[in-house]
Amino acid sequence: MPTARQKTGAAGEDQALAYLQQQGLRLVERNFRCKMGEIDLIMREDGVLVFVEVRARADGRHGGAAASITPAKQRRLIRAAQFYLQRLRTLPACRFDVIAIDGEVLHWLSNAIEA
């Protein structure tokens, strides 16, 4: 039985995926997990592989959704992406985006995390 937090997270990922697809990105993989961490969405925009972290909060209190991505979380995302890329024959151009959802407001922060 999923927890309330898991349900909120899954709904946020669904919303983020629909939004990014409307913007022309294509889904490559969802919820990629490895020993290094998890990547919510892996998308492709033209020739660029986009690793997407989705953060959803009921409201903007406590700094909001984007502020909840700590340096430790960023390191885990980067390591998980490196692990994912090791499986590929050739390395594409990559970037890290964040979808921050605060209540009903969705923000797409492109190239939000520097690797």
How much is the pLDDT for 103? 85
Mean pLDDT of the chain: 90
Residues 79-99 pLDDT 10s? 999 999 999 999 999 999 999
Number of domains in the chain: 1
What are all long-range contacts of 73-77, with beta carbons under 8 Å and residues at least 24 apart? 74/113, 76/36, 76/37, 76/38, 77/37, 77/39, 77/51, 77/53, 77/113
Strands (DSSP E) contained in 1-115 are: 26-34, 37-45, 48-57, 93-102, 105-113
Q: The domain spanning residue 21 has which CATH number?
A: 3.40.1350.10
Residue 109 near residue 115 (C-beta atoms within 8 A)? no
Whole domain around residue 94: which residue ranges?
A: 4-113
How much is the pLDDT for 60? 57
2 or 93, which is more confident? Answer: 93
